[in-house]
């Protein structure tokens, strides 16, 4: 779960070619080593082809006090949850999954992007 | 007398809903009706813009702007397809306005359309979700799931009652009853909304717009040319676009759509109007929560307070201080992606020239806000009565 630190010191996920202020990425940060807090979540019951149903999703905010300044923007990610039994404010940790949805079933070409990644599991 | 202003002298929209016609015939139907509405000959059209998001993905049909130009006898008019996802219609208004304001065209036809209902709900959802970042797409995120997460955060943070979102759906369905072109012309009660199936918790089926086929059109020219055709026209006072982060979770505040804020700010500045000058507004209610976020982003309500205005009835068509979505909105009228922004303009045009029939409100200034993606691109247009 590779985030990047930009030249101005801020951390962002996912990686962009340049940060919002035009700063270049200077190093990577592995977010899978950190816990996060659920900002908000939903359970989607109308999912596209190749996606599990129901699909529990959340936006989480990583606990990165040791890596960032208090004034830096928060580092967040969107991802699947391992369970729908969560509440906003819960602590979660990333758990690796080889396939988050079935490649080649939806409109996107299988080769066009990665299909593995991290779900979030309540701690 | 300012003769440099850009005017709209004709408008049309097809029946929205499940149509047998494919994109070619939907576009032609709205285009012909618009020219007839204005009394303008096809040979007088110099530019033709077609707002469309995904005719290639939905139907396998490309090059639709050139097809339309030939089908309507517009040759040798300049053509361009405008794709800005769900805000393609608003972006088409921007392109058409530019063509007249710059002097590049004396008469510009804008037609927006989409053909969607032949696809399954899952396929349509996937085509629309393909606009998301790969890091989002692989998790199976959909636009409705963004709405569910945003709605939960909004309700929790501002202690807003769930019923306030449902009241948006109730209001817009009520307005849609009087729109002969709307996909749904049926009122729904609060309990019906609150007891409908969950789609993206806490949002339910009636918090979402339907999948729709349809087309809409507007005809643009300068104010001096407009006067040669009619005494009743609308002026495009301003049009402005802005973007926000493509990746939704990177926004500093999930309850603020900065594309709405910035496009609105620029549109107000260009027109000289303030939020309190707006008499009627068409907002992009693809999901009920979006009506709240746009009301706040455009300055109609303070941050976190839009739900209070809805609860107080301030946005009702016949009794509110600021009627919102008199057309029925995307919620009731339907949301054929590329057509929706144009159809918003059709409603505001009809309100300003007094052609809205039973939906008519007292309006000299109207605003439409067309949102693309989950707010990563937004077009705000302000119109006023021409005179």
The Cα of B117 is separated from the nearest Cα of chain A by a number of Å equal to 15
Q: Note the pLDDT of residue B1.
A: 42
> Looking at the complex, does the CB of residue A46 fall below 8 Å from at least one CB of chain B?
yes
Find the closest chain B residue to A79 by CA distance: B139
Residue with tokens 């086929």: B213
What percent of chain B lies above the pLDDT cut of 90? 99
Q: Is the Cβ pair A39, B153 closer than 8 Å?
A: yes
The torsion of the CA quartet B292, B293, B296, B301, rounded to 10 degrees, works out to 10
Q: Is B123 on the interface with A (CB under 8 A)?
A: yes
Query: Do B92 and B82 form a contact (C-beta atoms < 8 A)?
Result: yes
Query: To which residue do tokens 């592995």 refer?
Result: A30
User: CA–CA separation, B7 vs B223, rounded Å?
Assistant: 5
Q: In what order do the strands lie in the sheet with A11-12?
A: A11-12, A2-6, A25-30
* A108 closest CA partner among B51, B119, B210, B136: B136
Judge whether residue A116 has pLDDT over 60.
Answer: yes
> Which residues on chain B are in Cβ contact (under 8 Å) with A51?
140
Q: How confident is the model at residue A20 (pLDDT cuts 50, 70, 90)?
A: confident
Structure tokens at B267: 């549109």
Given CB atoms, is A57 within the 8 Å cutoff of chain B?
A: yes
Query: In percent, how much of chain B has pLDDT > 70?
Result: 99
Mean pLDDT of the residues in chain B: 97
CB atoms within 10 A of CB A19: 18
Residue of B nearest to A61 (CA): B249
Inter-chain touch B140–A101, beta carbons under 8 Å: yes
Burial status of residue A110 (CB atoms within 10 A of its CB: 0-12, 13-18, 19 or more): exposed
Position A21 scores a pLDDT of 87
Dihedral Cα B281, B285, B375, A49, nearest 10 deg: -160
Whether B302 shows a pLDDT value over 80: the answer reads yes
User: Contact B305/B314 with Cβ under 8 angstroms?
Assistant: no
Can you give the pTM of this predicted structure?
A: 0.97
- Contact flag B139-A12 (C-beta cutoff 8 Å): no
Asked if B144 has any chain A CB less than 8 Å from its own CB, the reply is: yes
- A13 interaction partners in chain B (CB closer than 8 Å): 135, 250
The per-residue pLDDT for range B229-272, each reduced to its tens digit, is: 999 999 999 999 999 999 999 999 999 999 999 999 999 999 99
Rounded distance, CA B364 to CA A54, Å?
A: 47
For residue B3, the model assigns a pLDDT of 53
Q: Write out pLDDT tens, residues A45-88.
A: 999 999 999 999 999 999 998 898 988 999 999 999 999 999 99
Would you place residue B72 in the very low, low, confident or very high pLDDT band (cuts 50, 70, 90)?
A: very high
Per DSSP, B359 falls in state G
Question: Tens of pLDDT along B364-375?
Answer: 999 999 999 999
DSSP B316: -
Chain B residues within 8 A of A108 when measuring between CB atoms: 130, 137
CA atoms of B34 and B342, how far apart (whole Å): 12
Over 90: is that where the pLDDT of B325 sits? yes
Is the pLDDT confidence value at B98 over 80?
yes
Among B122, B127, B149, the residue with its CB nearest the CB of A40 is: B149
Question: Which of A10, A44, A97 is the mutation pick for testing B, counting most B CBs within 10 A?
Answer: A44
Q: Which of A57, A82, A105 to mutate to test the interface with B (most CBs of B within 10 A)?
A: A57
Count of H helices and E strands in chain B? 15, 11
Instruction: Measure the CA–CA gap between B275 and B215, rounded to whole angstroms.
Output: 29
Residue A85 touches chain B, beta carbons under 8 Å: no
At residue B88 the predicted structure's pLDDT band, cuts being 50, 70 and 90, is very high
Extract the tokens encoding B225: 């040319």
Residues whose CB is less than 8 angstroms from the CB of residue B95 and which lie 6 or more positions away in sequence, other chains included: B49, B80, B82, B110
- Report the C-alpha gap between B65 and B109 in whole angstroms: 11
Tens of pLDDT, residues B134-193: 999 999 999 999 999 999 999 999 999 999 999 999 999 999 999 999 999 999 999 999
């Amino acid at each position: 779960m590779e985030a990047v630190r930009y030249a101005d010191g801020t951390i962002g996920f996912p990686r962009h070619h340049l940060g919002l202020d035009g700063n270049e990425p200077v190093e990577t940060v592995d977010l899978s080593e950190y816990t996060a807090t659920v900002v908000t979540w939903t359970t989607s019951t109308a999912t596209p082809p190749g996606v599990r149903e129901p699909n529990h999703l959340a936006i989480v905010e990583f606990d990165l006090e040791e890596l960032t300044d208090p004034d830096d923007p928060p580092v967040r990610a969107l991802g699947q949850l391992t369970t729908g039994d969560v509440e906003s404010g819960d602590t979660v940790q990333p758990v690796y999954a080889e396939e988050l949805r079935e490649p080649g079933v939806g409109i996107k070409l299988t080769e066009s992007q990665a299909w593995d990644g991290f779900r979030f599991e309540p701690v | 007398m300012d003769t440099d202003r850009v005017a709209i002298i004709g408008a049309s929209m097809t029946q929205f809903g499940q149509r047998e016609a494919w994109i070619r015939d939907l576009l032609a139907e709205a285009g012909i009706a618009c020219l007839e509405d204005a009394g303008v000959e096809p040979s007088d059209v110099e530019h033709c813009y077609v707002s469309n998001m995904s005719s290639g993905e939905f139907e396998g049909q490309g090059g639709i702007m050139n097809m339309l130009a030939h089908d309507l006898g517009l040759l040798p008019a300049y053509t361009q397809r405008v794709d800005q996802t769900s805000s393609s219609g608003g972006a088409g208004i921007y392109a058409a306005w530019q063509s007249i304001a710059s002097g590049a065209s004396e008469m510009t036809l804008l037609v927006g359309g989409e053909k969607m209902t032949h696809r399954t709900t899952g396929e349509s959802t996937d085509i629309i979700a393909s606009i998301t970042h790969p890091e989002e797409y692989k998790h199976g995120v959909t636009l409705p799931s963004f709405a569910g997460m945003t709605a939960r955060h909004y309700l929790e943070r501002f202690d807003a009652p769930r019923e306030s979102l449902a009241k948006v759906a109730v209001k817009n369905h009520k307005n849609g009853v009087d729109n002969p072109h709307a996909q749904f012309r049926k009122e729904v009660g609060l309990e019906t909304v609150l007891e409908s199936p969950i789609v993206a918790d806490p949002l339910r089926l009636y918090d979402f717009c339907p999948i729709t086929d349809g087309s809409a059109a507007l005809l643009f020219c300068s104010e001096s040319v407009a006067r040669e055709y009619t005494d009743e026209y609308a002026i495009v006072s301003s049009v402005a676009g802005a973007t926000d982060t493509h990746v939704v979770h990177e926004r500093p505040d999930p309850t603020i759509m900065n594309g709405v804020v910035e496009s609105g700010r620029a549109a107000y500045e260009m027109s000289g109007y303030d939020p309190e000058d707006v008499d009627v507004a068409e907002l992009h209610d693809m999901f009920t929560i979006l009506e709240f976020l746009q009301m706040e982003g455009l300055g109609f309500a303070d941050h976190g307070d839009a739900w209070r205005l809805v609860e107080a009835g301030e946005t009702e068509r016949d009794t509110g201080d600021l009627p919102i979505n008199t057309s029925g909105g995307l919620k009731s009228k339907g949301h054929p992606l590329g057509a929706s922004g144009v159809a918003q303009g059709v409603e505001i045009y009809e309100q300003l020239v007094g052609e809205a029939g039973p939906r008519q409100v007292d309006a000299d200034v109207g605003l439409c806000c067309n949102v693309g993606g989950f707010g990563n691109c937004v077009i705000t247009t302000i119109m006023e009565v021409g005179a």
